[in-house]
Amino acid sequence: MNIGTKLTLNAIGLCSILIGLFSYLSYNEMRQLYDIAEEKEMKAQHRVILNQMLNETKKAEAFSSLLANIPAVQEAFAKRQREELQKLLMPSFEIMQKKYAIQQFHFHLAGLVEKGETAGQYSNAVSFLRFHQPEKYGDDLSNRKIIVATNVSQRQQKGFTREEDGLSIRAVTPMFYQQEHTGSVEFGMKFNTEFLKAEYGIDFALYVARQPKEGEGVKFFNFARTFESSLDSKHDLYLLDNNELSSILTTGHRYITPKIINNKPVVVYSDIFTDFSKKVIAVLSVIIDRTDYLEAMEETQKLILNTALIALLVISIIFFISGQMMGKLISKVAKAMEEIANGNLNFEMCSTRRRDEIGMIQRAVMGMSKSMKDMIDDIQTTVTSVQNGDLTKRVNTSKLSGFMRALGDTTNQSVEVTCALQELTERNAKQDWLKTGQTKLNEQMSGTQRIEELAGNVITFLCNYLEDVQVGAFYLVTKANHLQLFSTYAYTKRKQLANEFEFGEGLVGQAALEKQSIVITQAPEDYIQVQSGIGESVPRNLLVIPFFYEDELTGVIEMASLQEVSDIQLEFIEQVMPHVGIAMNTAQSRTKLQSLLKKEKAV
């Protein structure tokens, strides 16, 4: 075995080890990136489910707080006038059942001195009036911890409570009359899994821990889920068994595990779920289809393997040629091959004009050196362009063939993977931005707010969250075919326009008439101005958006910016407008209800 062959075999062995190690490390790194992206998506969807459930809690809180502070209701409850309470509130309850999914509406007494063998004992919760079951009252509710906690602390309690058949969403507010505690009022909301599935397209399961009997461990049952299973009962455990759920409940740590649902690979992200008193009572599991992730990892694995094999083939060929030349032309081309082995492709070889075999070998070495240099330069240029944000740059393989073309194609495939990963990251960032904005806007609209306060909070949040928006105005329909300005953001001047519009009048009225958004990219220079402490500027881009409640126009929002409104900003506006319509309708309904109650009391 000559020295050339020995060098070739040794070099191929060493390169195989290095390429194998590099491929292994690259695959592990890519797998970690996929796992991180998958976990971020699961956390985001878990937050969406929790936030939606908390929104239902806030809705129950708003209703109970509103009724607990109506004087006529306080007086009738203090005087134990069941008929008067039914007369005042039964019509409103029927409306709330239909429009807001109110499941329970219940007044409780703060306590009752019992008779007979239990004389002198005090119960902290006694039913007084169930609007959903008026015929049932007077029963002891001391086993309802949220009611007892409200009456004992005389403070509002809200959140989830554990019932015999699962979980319920409750808000209980203490009642007072002439500064004396008289009892409490409770609202219960429907646990709507169908809405969560339809609205957000998220699959999840909620496992509730039963109250353990003495000497027994915790037993779970499946309270709700949004996907089909092969089990006989919808309450049977699926995906996670009792031991896994007990471990999550005991440790309080999130639990991530791969599973199979309907022959599809999924990953289950589970975390604890607490009741109104922050006691852990359930486990919420979010299920994500990981088919795309697994396919992407498989493609990445194939790409890395193919790249490694091609690289090994290329290096093997190079070292084989180098070894043969080392054996035959040791005195002529040893230095040249040494330079090539060391990666220096800029050297010059003398006597390349020879017509014999030595000259041919020398010219072949120089030609190979030039081709490799051009390819490496092209690859470096492509990598640099991609790093600088130019994702259109590719290695030109049109004039290449053999392993050089394969190397160029492999580089281009690597660039394609990089582009795909960047697009996935941008898409996830876009979804996070949209979902975060919806959550923050819901927080701004939560609670009991006056119409003007709610309008101000909405227009201020939208202008700030969209960043490029400098001016905003919030109009509401106050009467038939008429809009009135209720709140503004950085509003200073409008050209010859009033703060009230008829339908079809101006951009605001036209948007209301057509019930469609209007986008203007070249507004007149004197239409509106933005003022600051250092001068004035003219926004040339306008966005006028109507919002509705149950297909009925509620109002119009107008915003102006110096920059053109982007597609993601328009998508965000379109997604949140239905929520604005619901919140504004709730505020208007609350105002009307208060006005009606005041009129009835006056009568």
Residue 51 tokens read as: 């936030």
Q: Which ranges of 69-192 does DSSP label H, i.e. alpha helix? A: 71-78, 82-100, 145-153
Beta carbons within 8 Å of 583's beta carbon, 6+ residues apart: 445, 454, 458
Measuring CA to CA, how many Å separate 395 from each of 158, 307, 416?
62, 15, 12
Residue 95 amino acid letter: I
* Domain 69-189 falls under CATH 3.90.550.10: no
Does the structural domain 193-289 have CATH classification 3.30.450?
yes
Question: For residue range 547-580, what is the model confidence (pLDDT) as tens digits?
Answer: 999 889 999 999 988 888 888 889 999 999 999 9
> Residue 533 — pLDDT band, cuts 50, 70, 90?
very low
Please give the pLDDT value at position 71: 93
CA distance linking residue 26 with residue 5, whole number of Å: 31
262/473 Cα distance (integer angstroms) = 50
- Angstrom CA distances, 228 to 108, 238, 288, 500, stand at 39, 10, 14, 52
pLDDT in tens, 241-283: 888 888 888 888 888 888 887 788 888 889 988 888 888 888 8
Q: Which tokens is 564 given?
A: 């053109």
Coil, strand, or helix at residue 483?
strand
CB burial class (10 A; 0-12, 13-18, 19+) of residue 462?
A: buried
Question: Same fold for the domain at 69-189 and the one at 449-602?
Answer: yes
CB atoms within 10 A of CB 586: 20
449-602 in CATH: which number?
3.30.450.40
Question: For 395-419, how does the pLDDT look when each residue is reduced to its tens digit (9 = 90+)?
Answer: 777 666 666 667 777 777 777 777 7
pLDDT confidence tier of residue 285, bands split at 50, 70 and 90 = confident
Return the domain boundaries, the chain.
Answer: 3-41+294-422, 69-189, 193-289, 449-602
Which amino acid, residue 388?
N
Q: Quote the mean pLDDT of the chain.
A: 80
Percent of the chain with pLDDT over 70: 78
pTM: 0.46
Q: Is the pLDDT of residue 358 over 70?
A: no
- Whether the pLDDT of residue 477 is over 90: the answer is yes
